[in-house]
Structure 1
Amino acid sequence: MAKRTATDSANTADESQKFPRASGSGIPRDTHTNGEMGEFEDAFEDEIESDEDVVDADGDNMDDMNDGMDVDEVLPAIEESDEQPAAPETYIHGTHKLGPGEILEPDDSVYIMRHSLKVTWPCLSFDILRDNLGDERQKLPATAYLATGTQADTAQGNELLVYKMSSLHRTQKDGDSDSDADDDDDDDGDHLDEDPVLEYRSVPHHGGINRVRAQPLTSLGPVSQPYHVATWADTGKVHIWDVRPLIESLDVPGYSLDKDRVHKPVFTVNAHGRAEGFALDWATSSHSSTRLLTGDTYGKIFLTTSTPTGFNTFAQPFLSHTSSVEDIQWSPSEAFVFASCSADRTIQIWDVRAKGRKSIAGVDAAHDSDVNVISWNKINSYLLLSGGDDGGLKTWDLRNVKKREDGGPASVPLASFNWHQGPITSVEWHPTEDSIFAAAGDDDQVTMWDLGVEQDDEEMGTNTSSQDVPPQLLFVHQGQQHIKEVHWHAQIPGAVVSTAYDGFNIFKTISV
């Protein structure tokens, strides 16, 4: 959540030019220096006051000038007021507008943890990597691993990166004291003043990276087991990488990276020709084979599967979309079923065993314009979430979706929200709560929703803002520019990571 405060224009300009100091980094390819590929912001960097004596313009020491002088004889006593200063107003996007000299400041009282990471080149897609630190981790400070990729100014300047973010401590709130921190349930009081630490490894990647997806694993398994990450390049190629050595090099002191191995992809999907793409998804690891779906801007979807000797891409594409395939999701419960969405405004449901490589069901005119993203509920597998260029968020009951041969009226969503003021760029269901999801939009908002919340009649009658703020809207996170993706951390309950043009945010709120 954000609050707005008044400031003069000079301070506003200064705030926009702040760049934090590096709090730690790895050394990718033995060439980068600290902070080159990213650094955490230091929220308290500018709050340290100097202990030097105050000197006036003539060079005289002010303490010497005040010797023998009673301050009360010169300055009248300042009367204390019992009135509390007005609390900053909560900023609601689309309702409020910033006035001259106003800026947004985060309200840290609603965050359990909040950290920002600035990057050299935009990383517009990422995925959270599974680690061996355990599930259901509640205690702070936290550690998280990410796989991401850059969009540099030259094709040769891009990289696939593995980030290790550690010492992610609890947010220090106004009024916190050492004793309060020591009594905190998270037992992280000793870490409040520590900087978060960023370490990373990278490999060269030809072409900007449109989408990054990590193979879903229930555990990392033995060191010999690969950990595959796929990247959709703007060159029209999809590369599969084994990032396991990069993770090991971050965790094991003295680990020696085999550059000949890690700097080359395990496999490259060339079936899309020169067509660019964004749609990318792995089947869950519980299935018998490793399978990857890729969709391009020409409406074609290809399937790549693992074989005893490596990977193989089927030559025949899946064809039902008439425009760019924007997103793909495997079913969490049906091994051979997947969903896709497109700029043709439709959502299609497919079965890889079906003849003709055509969709078996779908939703026509799911949104008023391009359908950008979808997410399949992992708990209630009949629920599908979609977000469009129209700013709308919709939940669909797949049990009521029309089959291809059916006629009749169009499918109707279970729920629909139009809070965002720009195209939806990312949606994702909560990994363990079947009614909660997160969304991101090009209006610089990350929102969290709970479909299980309903507003009763009495509340509707007394809450004048009920029409402005849907009761299902739990939380709004702001402060990033052009947000592109948001993901829940499956092993740290309630933790969320988002990426935008200006870097990453990782946070945990009191609302979820």
Structure 2
Amino acid sequence: MSKRTADGDNGDAPLKRGGRPEPMDLDDNQEMGEFEDEFEDEFESEDEIFEAGVDGRPDAEREAEERAGAMDVDNGTFIVGRNKLEAGQHLAPDVGTYDMLHSLSTPWPCLSFDIVRDGLGDQREKVYPATMYTVAGTQADSTHQKENQLMVMKFSGLSKIERQEDDSDSDDDDDEVSDPILESKSIPLTSTTNRIRAHRMPAQDPSRPPTTFTATMTESSQVFIHDITPHLASFDTPGTVITPQQNKPLSTIRAHKSEGYALDWSPLVPGGKLLTGDNDGLIYATTRTDGGGWVTDTRAFQGHTGSVEEIQWSPQEASVFASASSDGTVRVWDVRSKSRKPALTVQVSNTDVNVMSWSRLTTHLLATGADDGVWGVWDLRQWKPQTGASDKPSPIASFAYHRDQITSIEWHPTDDSMVAVAAGDNKVTLWDLSVELDDEESKDTAGVQDMPPQLLFEHIVEHAKEVHWHPQIPGTLVVTGSEFSVWRPIPVVYGVPTK
């Protein structure tokens, strides 16, 4: 895994989970961010609200470019394991496989983000036009540290891709007319963001909105906790002004002596309980008090011999969490332990274990992704205290499809057989672990050794770093890298009708 090194002349130092993408070329007066379609439609911006057309270009323009590049592009379907790119050829996305596809650029790359749950409904039957809320932290280069910020964003008007066969469907007309809009609020930060996570605390008073906290781990080794509730509310209250006091952190965690990337809020402690892990292999717990303050336990959890790359709370046991490390292990802990030592340790890779995801539906399943491009699924019921090499458990599924380090992995929120994976080879892949081929299907796939049958979909994002399923919009994903990509494959992949 690439670790952060001393800044070079260009100020773009490599980061964990891959190198920092090149900064965008921006005019001096360019605002916070901008939507752009996959095919570089022009757009206009005003203040912090941006509009752009849906994906796609006029037919004449697209046809002209296709004719000009006909000698360089193979317009057929590329099948991994069967086809090879010849000199001068390149791959282009098949927009026909997407139900929605939008892109978003920000002043500086945001290599970590989180989706904020909203009050618009779970498992929304009417998908389009879609609205979602996100938080992200920027990664400005070393010469522009003062430009870093925590970005609170609202995406709205996210429409499905318009197809010719949809023109006759008058029932869907309302879904096709909106333009995507980005609204954003920024909170100044003094350092680049390594990892950010949001936590929504239910309101005790039904007349008041839920409180939303963010925790931001920075390159400075400090962790900032902010209340972004007023920033989210301002999107729906025109004219609202965010005060400097509302931009200040509620708490700053200074327990870490080195920077870190591991961060997770407990899903079972509504008031707020946070775990943070650093490059020294130390993990600290921070809890919100009854009075609304924040207290960090100075007794660190210790056991890893390398940096802590990922932390995940158990979705079922409020006192249990797991951590993944560059030492190749995953360790399971109990916060009630006085020894602050792990209860279980399993060597899951000979390389760094970069990322991890604990299934919220089948809570004995844990997915891990490593520096060698391999990701796997583990049955925690098979994990026991080890007494020898022969006791090492094996994954119940393992895939070596990606050609670079795994940078993100996440279980589908409502389907315990589906997993999204992002990697340093610029690919985001969707997998269905329930797929098994019968004899006839096995014959059809002969010679496609590099294409596992469980692979459902492949999405290309330059410098793909972090991917999340939207927990309330079925089949919709957001991924960040050189830019944000908001997308939804055709619903047939999930068996979810588009309305």
Instruction: Please state if 1:476 is matched with 2:458.
Output: yes
The DSSP-based 3-state class of the residue aligned with 2:446 is coil
5+ residue gaps, structure 2, are 1-35, 62-72, 495-499
* Maintained 8 Å contact 1:147/1:161: yes
Q: Which residue of 2 aligns with 1:345?
A: 328
1:167 maps to which residue?
157
Question: Cα 1:161–1:17, aligned 2, differ >3 Å: closer, same or farther?
Answer: closer
Matched, 1:321 2:304: yes
**Change over 3 Å in CA distance of 1:468–1:200 after alignment to 2:** same
User: 8 Å contact 2:200–2:211 — kept in the other structure?
Assistant: no
Alpha-carbon distance between aligned partners in 1 of 2:203 and 2:90, rounded to the nearest angstrom: 44
Superposition deviation, residue 192 in structure 1 = 2.7
- Rate the CA distance shift 1:467–1:100 in 2: closer, same or farther, 3 A: closer
After superposition, residues 138-157 of structure 1 pair within 5 angstroms as: 138-139=125-126, 140-153=128-141, 154-157=144-147
Query: 452-461 or 222-231, which moves further after superposition?
Result: 222-231
1:492 and 2:480 correspond: no
Cα pair distance change 1:177/1:320, threshold 3 Å: closer
Deviations 1:196-223 (A, max 9, x none): 1111111101100111101155789654
Task: State the secondary structure of the residue aligned to 1:426.
Answer: strand
1:246 corresponds, among 231, 239, 243, to 231
| Cα offsets for 1:83-108 (capped at 9, x unmatched) | xxx99322345764433443332212
Q: 1:176 is matched by which residue type in structure 2? A: E
SS of the residue corresponding to residue 355 of structure 1 reads coil
Aligned 8 A contact 2:101 2:485 in 1: no
**CA shift at 1:193, angstroms?**
4.9
In structure 1, give the amino acid aligned to 2:167: D
Q: Match for 2:294: what amino acid?
A: F
Q: Do the aligned partners of 2:80 and 2:450 also contact (CA within 8 Å) in 1? A: no
Q: Secondary structure at the match of 1:268?
A: strand
Q: How does 1:77-88 map to 2 (within 5 A)?
A: 88=75
Give the letter aligned to residue 189 of structure 2: H
Secondary structure in 2 aligned to 1:448?
strand
Hey, what does 2:122 align to over in structure 1?
135
Q: CA deviation at 1:456?
A: 1.3
Q: Shift of residue 413 of structure 1?
A: 0.5
Unaligned segments of structure 1, at least 5 residues: 1-14, 28-33, 50-85
2:402 alignment partner, SS class: coil
* CA–CA separation in structure 2 for the residues paired with 1:171 and 1:355: 55
2:100 is paired with a residue of what secondary structure?
Answer: strand
Q: Look up the SS of the partner of 1:176 in the other structure.
A: helix
Counterpart contact for 2:38–2:102, Cα < 8 Å: no
The answer on whether the counterparts of 1:396 and 1:414 sit within 8 Å (CA) in structure 2 is yes
Could you say which residue in structure 2 is the equivalent of 1:207?
A: 191
Distance in structure 2 (CA, Å) of the matches to 1:40 and 1:105? 22
CA distance in structure 2 between the aligned counterparts of 1:451 and 1:352, rounded to whole angstroms: 32
Residue 48 of structure 1: how far off its partner (Å) = 6.7
1:429 matched residue in structure 2:
411
Q: CA deviation at 1:282?
A: 0.1
Change (3 A) 1:48 1:250: farther
**Partners of 2:250 and 2:42 in 1: CA distance:** 36
What SS does the corresponding residue of 1:90 show, helix, strand or coil? coil
Residue 191 of structure 1 and its aligned partner are, at CA, apart by 4.3
Q: Secondary structure at the match of 2:381?
A: helix
* Residues 205 and 271 of structure 1: CA distance in aligned 2, closer, same or farther (over 3 Å): same
CA distance in 2, matches of 1:48, 1:408: 65
Q: Decide which structure has the larger Cα Rg and report it.
A: 1
1:356 is paired with a residue whose SS is coil
Q: CA deviation at 1:429?
A: 0.4
State the 1:283 CA deviation: 0.2
Letter in 2 for 1:236: S
* Offset at residue 243 of structure 1 (A): 0.8
2:25 — aligned with what?
A: none
Give the distance between the partners of 1:137 and 1:503, measured in 2 at CA. Answer: 22
* Residue 252 of structure 2, aligned match among 257, 268, 288: 268
Q: CA deviation at 1:501?
A: 1.8
For residues 421-460 of structure 1, the aligned pairs below 5 Å read: 421-460=403-442
Distance 1:25 1:215, change over 3 A: farther
Inter-partner Cα distance in structure 2 for 1:504 and 1:134: 22
State the SS of the aligned residue for 1:248.
Answer: helix
Q: Whole-Å Cα distance in 1 between the matches of residues 197 and 294 of structure 2? A: 17
TM-score normalised by length of structure 2 = 0.83
Give the Å deviation of 1:404.
5.6
**Cα distance change of structure 1 residues 472 and 115 upon mapping to structure 2, 3 Å threshold:** same
- Number of aligned residue pairs: give it: 442
Question: Equivalent residues in 2 for 1:86-485 (5 A)?
Answer: 88-92=75-79, 96-139=83-126, 140-153=128-141, 154-173=144-163, 175-176=164-165, 178-180=167-169, 182-183=170-171, 187=172, 189-216=173-200, 222-223=207-208, 225-261=210-246, 263-273=247-257, 275-284=258-267, 286-287=268-269, 289-309=271-291, 310-364=293-347, 366-403=348-385, 408-478=390-460, 480-485=461-466
User: For residues 507 and 246 of structure 1, what CA distance do their matches in structure 2 show?
Assistant: 27
Tell me if the contact between 1:118 and 1:504 (Cα under 8 Å) persists in the aligned partners.
no
Letter in 2 for 1:420: H
Amino acid in the other structure paired with 2:214: V
Match of 2:20 in 1: none
Give 1:501's aligned residue. 482
Change (3 A) 1:93 1:147: farther
Residue 26 of structure 2: aligned partner: none
Distance 1:318 1:484, change over 3 A: same
Instruction: Please tell me whether the aligned partners of residues 26 and 199 of structure 1 are also in contact (alpha carbons under 8 angstroms).
Output: no
Do the aligned partners of residues 94 and 468 (structure 1) sit closer, same or farther apart at CA in structure 2, a change above 3 Å counting? closer
Change in CA separation of 1:434 and 1:20 when aligned onto 2, cut-off 3 Å = same
CA 335–406 in structure 1, closer or farther in 2 if over 3 Å, else same: farther
Q: For residues 314 and 469 of structure 1, what CA distance do their matches in structure 2 show?
A: 47
SS of residue matched to 1:89: coil
Kept in 2, the 8 Å contact 1:442–1:483? The answer is yes
Q: Which amino acid aligns with 1:142?
A: A
Identical columns (%) = 43
Residue pair 2:281, 2:307 contacting (<8 A) in 1 also: yes
Structure 2 CA distance for aligned equivalents of residues 305 and 405 of structure 1: 35
Q: How far apart, in 2, do the equivalents of 1:467 and 1:144 lie?
A: 38
Change (3 A) 1:202 1:413: same
Sort the Cα spacing of 1:304 and 1:40 in 2 relative to 1 into closer, same or farther, 3 A.
farther
Q: Distance in 2 between matches of 1:402 and 1:385?
A: 17
Q: Distance in 1 between matches of 2:208 and 2:465?
A: 33
- Counterpart CA distance in 1 for 2:60 and 2:161 is 18
Choose 500-509 or 287-296, whichever is displaced more: 500-509
Distance (whole Å) between structure 2 residues aligned to residue 339 and residue 260 of structure 1: 36
Deviation digits for residues 365-393 of structure 1 (CA, Å, limit 9, x no counterpart): x1131000000000111000000011011
User: By how many angstroms is 1:162 displaced?
Assistant: 1.1
Asked whether the 8 Å contact 1:280–1:328 carries over to 2, the reply is yes
